[in-house]
Amino acid sequence: MAKESRHMPKIIQLVDSLSMGGTERMSVNIANYLLDFGVESGLIITRESGGLEQYLKSSVKKRLFSKKGKLDLITFYRIVVLLRTEAPDVLHAHQTSIFWAVLLKFFLPRTKLIWHDHFGMSEKIDQYPRKEMNLLIGSIDVIITVNEKIKSYWQNRFPSMRDKVYYIENFSGNISEELTRKKKDQFRIINIANFRKQKDQLTLLRALVGLKEKIGDFKAYFLGEYVEIDWKEKIQSEIIRLGLEEQVQIVGPVNNVAPYIEMAHIGILSSESEGLPVALLEYGMGALPTIATDVGQCGDVLGHGQFGELVPAKSPEKLHQAILKICADYPQAALQGQQFKKHVEVNYGYLNFFNKYLPIALPELKREKISSIPV
């Protein structure tokens, strides 16, 4: 259908998979909310599905492919045919999907190409130059980043793109209704982070040593995809070495984190580097007392300590002390969790995202339609 005869603008996203990661969560969140703003929503999954597929609304036009590699020309051709038929106004590519997206744009000259950079190692971004972007940048119309540091990096590296690089905060869907959290016989800690070195679960494990003698019985649950198997094995070995077999459970990937957030007393992120972790927003939406390392945008999300505890990266001692602080006055921590929820709803809710995103992606979309959507 020609664009002139369409009344509803269309955005199609491109993502590698629907595994339980932050990038994938954002692609699903965006896809699910676009129709609320009068935008037709499509999602192309190029390689494989995953646990997040079940959370896609039926109104989202989903297409799943099984890309075998970068040179899978058959799959590439099928996606070209699909996109030429759909004729989206915007092709929104997440992270590494930008490689194919740039090639696809040659067949879609009237489509705006947005690259959503979810790079999580923002503290070390200069060590990962991603030189291939020198070749791709000329075909990209807009870059969206998940924190200010990444935004500044691309603006400085490609001055011609300075006015086309935007930082827009990630957002999370609702987790639960109002909860009244109280300390019970067993204190429960959760860590939602894929198993890879960047997420530094080792620091959290070491912070748990000696905790039982101070707070009583506790259980820590580690949730996430096994992205780096050797890192997962290192975590398992460290649990045994530290004698934490009774206190730590590796849950692994789960399709729904909400039940774990609802039953937990503390949510912890011990990453050595971050962008803007969706898991932190999920802790907030669940009104969960939270501790995070002061990396990436974690400080902003936690109001620089107003809505949760911030500790330095790679400091088991500081993390241990932060856990003790929350346990010592849990009613106050639970109240802070409720304040965290309100902070996330206002500053990292879907309205905040789309009020910034839609004028960039679809400037012709009427502003009043964006602002009139109810919270």
Our count of domains for the chain comes to: 2
Q: Is residue 176 part of a domain?
A: no
Q: Is residue 250 part of a domain?
A: yes
Query: pLDDT digits over 153-196, tens only?
Result: 999 999 999 999 999 999 987 665 556 666 777 999 999 999 99
Across 93-105, b (16+ Cβ under 10 Å) vs e yields bbbbbbebbbebb
Provide the percentage of residues in the chain whose pLDDT is more than 90: 85
Q: Is residue 323 part of a domain?
A: yes
List the structure tokens of 151.
Answer: 């935004």
Residues 62 and 155 in one domain: yes
**Residue 374 pLDDT:** 47
In the predicted structure, residue 2 carries a pLDDT above the cut 80: no
Q: What is the mean pLDDT of residues 273-297?
A: 96
pLDDT band for 123, please (50, 70, 90 cuts): confident
The helix (H) or strand (E) run that includes residue 253 is none
In the predicted structure, residue 4 carries a pLDDT above the cut 80: no
Q: How would you classify the pairing of strands 10-17 and 266-269?
A: unpaired
Residues 197 and 131 in one domain: no
What are the residues whose beta carbons fall under 8 Å from the beta carbon of 157, sequence distance 6 or more? 133
Residues 202 and 145 in one domain: no
Q: Is residue 232 part of a domain?
A: yes
**Residue 375 pLDDT:** 44
Residues 24 and 163 in one domain: yes
CA 341 to chain centre: 17
Q: What is the mean pLDDT of residues 286-315?
A: 97
Q: Is residue 180 part of a domain?
A: no
Residue with tokens 């679809």: 362
Least confident of 44-48, 76-80, 254-258: 254-258
Residues 355 and 301 in one domain: no
Residue with tokens 């020309």: 73
**Residue 126 pLDDT:** 86
Q: Is residue 179 part of a domain?
A: no
pLDDT band for 118, please (50, 70, 90 cuts): very high
Q: Enter the pTM of the model.
A: 0.86
> How many Å apart are CA 110 and CA 112, to the nearest integer?
7
Residues 265 and 226 in one domain: yes
Q: Which domain holds residue 49?
A: 3-171+349-371
Residues 167 and 214 in one domain: no
In the predicted structure, residue 130 carries a pLDDT above the cut 80: yes
Query: Which residue did the predictor score with more confidence, 126 or 327?
Result: 327
DSSP string covering 267-309, please? Answer: EEE--SS-S--HHHHHHHHTT--EEEES-TTHHHHTGGGTSSE
Exposed, middle or buried: residue 55 (CB in 10 Å: 0-12, 13-18, 19+)? middle
Query: pLDDT digits over 313-367, tens only?
Result: 999 999 999 999 999 999 999 999 999 999 999 999 999 999 999 999 999 876 5
DSSP string covering 215-242, please? Answer: H-SEEEEEE---SSHHHHHHHHHHHHHT
Residues 285 and 191 in one domain: yes
Output phi, psi for 66, to 5 deg.
-125, 65
Q: Is residue 181 part of a domain?
A: no
What are the residues whose beta carbons fall under 8 Å from the beta carbon of 84, sequence distance 6 or more? 107, 108
Q: What is the mean pLDDT of residues 17-27?
A: 92
**Residue 368 pLDDT:** 53
Exposed, middle or buried: residue 118 (CB in 10 Å: 0-12, 13-18, 19+)? buried
**Residue 168 pLDDT:** 97
Contact 167, 206 (CB under 8 A): no
**Residue 173 pLDDT:** 74
Residues 43 and 123 in one domain: yes
Q: What is the CATH number of the domain that holds 304?
A: 3.40.50.2000
> How many Å apart are CA 352 and CA 41, to the nearest integer?
19
In the predicted structure, residue 11 carries a pLDDT above the cut 90: yes
Q: Is residue 303 part of a domain?
A: yes
In the predicted structure, residue 220 carries a pLDDT above the cut 90: yes
Residue of 257, 250, 268 lying closest to 325 (CA atoms): 268
Residues 358 and 248 in one domain: no
Output phi, psi for 54, to 5 deg.
-65, -15
Q: What is the mean pLDDT of residues 146-153?
A: 94
> How many Å apart are CA 115 and CA 15, to the nearest integer?
11
Residues 312 and 208 in one domain: yes
| Average pLDDT over the chain, rounded to an integer | 93
Residues 230 and 290 in one domain: yes
Contacts 24+ apart (CB under 8 A), 229-235: 229/195, 231/195, 231/196, 231/197, 231/201, 232/195, 234/202, 235/195, 235/201, 235/202, 235/205
Query: pLDDT digits over 50-90, tens only?
Result: 989 999 999 999 999 999 988 899 999 999 999 999 999 99
Integer CA distances (angstroms), 142 to 80, 100, 114, 275, 319, in order:
21, 16, 5, 18, 38
In the predicted structure, residue 260 carries a pLDDT above the cut 80: yes
